[in-house]
Structure 1
Amino acid sequence: MSGLIDLLNGPLGKQLISGVAGETGQPESKTADVLGMAMPILLGAMKKNVSTTEGAQGLMSALSNKHNGSILDDLGGLFGGGVDQSVLEDGAGILGHLLGNKQTAVENALSQKSGMDTGSIAQILKLAAPIVMGFLGRQTAQSSVQDSSGMNALLGSMLGGQPEQNQSLITTLLDSDGDGSVLDDVAGMVLGGSKKKGGLGGMLGSFLGK
């Protein structure tokens, strides 16, 4: 069963990073950093959603009907000549569903952490969302996941089997009450800021060569 580390470190990851960098005009090293931080946040949001039966059924329906992993079969074609607008629109819809009113806060936090402008961050998230869904769809089929508990376990394994406290950091971000501290939460905890080392940022930094 593959996790995000396997995806980003493998041939598909290299294609993904190269393609997204070309699409946004950003350096591959920075693009890899942003993807390495953004993709666990998206999976964490999915993991939060599948805590309810309705959320799990909705996600599994989307995976079986549209996001079955076929997008991964030709990433070269996906990025060659520019990404089709329908893919970006699909990504925007996924982000709206997963992040809701936290999307801007996530974009700002990723921008602060990476030094990349928020416009490029938003573009990367739109590109990453359908690919993360496709990767999850393929893993779901290969693992024969059929219910919410199975989906919850699969998402946990794809996030790298991190300790429960790391999972709660993502939840803290997504459940912030909007009191203005969410950026501190993201930069300081989820993304591994200066106040708190380790966590997702530390884990991701280790395999991104930081």
Structure 2
Amino acid sequence: MSGLASLLDSDIGRQIIGGISSETGTSEDKTSNLLGMALPLLTGAMKKNATTPQGAEGLMNAINNKHDGSILDNLGGFFGGGVDQSAISDGAGILSHVLGGNQPNVENALSSKTGIDAGTVSQILKMAAPLILGYLGKQTKQSNVSGANDMSSLLGSMLGGQSQENQSLITSLIDSDGDGSVLDDVADMVIGSNKKKGGIGGMLGNFFNS
């Protein structure tokens, strides 16, 4: 199975980078750099959610009902003539449920790291969200994932293979240490230990079970 680092360096990854670059007018280098940070963040949030049976079941339902990986089989159609508004709306919905009200902080943090303006970061994330779920769906089928433990292991393997620099960044994004930094605040909101109703973890579970 392939990790996110391998995905971005594959033919499919290059199509994704090129398509998003063309859609937003952002250089391929900057687009690749952003995706190299953003995809592990979203995957890490899903992995945290999948540690509970309810979260894993919700994620499996989302994959089985809509995000089965077929989106990656026709990237030419996805990007050709401009990304369809329904796909953008789908991506916006995914991000809203994963990141909640903290989405602007995520976008600003990624903007400061990449030099891409926050508005464009938002555009890129909306396109990337259904693609990363599609990739997870494809990997789920190939690995015959059927339960919470298998899903957690799959998501963990997807997060493997990162460069040392990216590993450090991913750790800062998903490790809540309460030092008050924006990136750690993002982590608290996205995949922190707060499980009360209405929190991001709950929102993600509700989204995948809807």
Same fold (TM over 0.5): yes
State the TM-score, normalized to the length of structure 2.
0.80
Deviations 1:124-154 (A, max 9, x none): 0000000000000000011111111110000
**Cα RMSD over matched residues?**
2.2
TM-fit CA distance, 1:169: 3.7
Paired residue type of 2:136: L
Q: More displaced, 91-100 or 38-47? A: 91-100
| Structure 1 gap segments, 5+ residues each | 187-210
Match of 2:174 among 171, 175, 179: 171
Aligned match of 2:195: none
Aligned match of 2:181: 181
Aligned match of 1:115: 115
State the TM-score, normalized to the length of structure 1.
0.80
Question: Taking every aligned residue pair, what percent have the same amino acid on both sides?
Answer: 59
TM-fit CA distance, 1:103: 1.5
Deviations 1:5-40 (A, max 9, x none): 111001001100000011111111111100111000
Aligned match of 2:50: 50
Paired residue type of 2:66: K
Aligned match of 2:77: 77
TM-fit CA distance, 1:73: 0.4
Aligned match of 2:152: 152
Paired residue type of 2:181: S
| Structure 2 gap segments, 5+ residues each | 187-210
Contact 1:20–1:31 under 8 Å retained in 2: yes
Cα distance in 2, alignment partners of residues 113 and 168 from structure 1:
15
For the pair 1:139 / 2:139, whether they are aligned, the reply is: yes
Structure with higher RCO (Cα < 8 A, 6+ apart)? 2
Deviations 1:89-124 (A, max 9, x none): 110111112122331111011100111100000000
Aligned match of 1:40: 40
Q: More displaced, 32-41 or 90-99? A: 90-99
**Aligned partner of residue 59 in structure 1, secondary structure:** helix
Aligned match of 1:90: 90
Between the two proteins, the alignment pairs up a number of residues equal to 182
Paired residue type of 1:38: A
Contact 2:41–2:174 under 8 Å retained in 1: no
TM-fit CA distance, 1:185: 6.6
Closer/same/farther in 2, CA of residues 26 and 168 from structure 1, 3 Å limit = closer
